[in-house]
Structures are given as structure tokens and as C-alpha cells.
Amino acid sequence: MSNNLSLRQAVTLALTDYFRSLEGEPPRDLYQLVSHEVEGPLLSMTLELAGGNQSTAAKMLGISRGTFRTKLAKHGLL
């Protein structure tokens, strides 16, 4: 993907590729799938950007540290 793409454009391209890979089969639980697939990398990359500081990462995401830790655990990132 080009560095000039907006996040929205990058997501649109990724979803287009995903839908093509289904070869006409309807997606199932698409909202849950996308939410789970995006949340894990978002959490880990934000934590890395914050230098491993969970409080800072949580602030960057606009959530509480407790919620951040709960989400980290959900994704096996603790």
C-alpha cells in the first residue's frame, strides 16, 4: 500500500481484497471479525508507539487504562 493512502482508503482496499477472497461466499459476523482483527494490531502498535507505557497508550486511544488492559488481555497481549 502506498504511504499516501488515508486510513479509510487503506481499510477500503483491505476489505475489497478480503471480499474478493471469499469468491462470492457471503461474509459471516463481519462486524465482529473486522473489530477483532483491527483492535489487536491497534492496541499493540499504540503500546509500542507509547514506549510500552500503558497509561500513555490508553490516553492516545481515548480509553481508560483499565479498559486498555482488559482489551490487551482479550487479545493475549498482556
Residue 1 placed within a domain: no
Instruction: Look at the chain and report how many structural domains it folds into.
Output: 1
**What is the domain range of residue 46?**
7-74
Q: Is residue 31 part of a domain?
A: yes
Quick check: helix, strand or coil at residue 10?
helix
CATH label of the domain that carries residue 21: 1.10.10.60
Q: Domain for residue 60, yes or no?
A: yes
Determine if the pTM surpasses 0.85: no
| DSSP sequence for 19-78 | HHHTTTPPPSSHHHHHHHHHHHHHHHHHHHHTTT-HHHHHHHHTS-HHHHHHHHHHTT--
Cell of 19: 471480499
Q: Is residue 2 part of a domain?
A: no
Would you say residue 33 has pLDDT above 90?
yes
Torsion, Cα 66 53 35 32, to 10 degrees, reads -40
**Span 24-32, average pLDDT:** 92
Predicted pLDDT at 1: 46
Strands (E) located in 8-75:
none
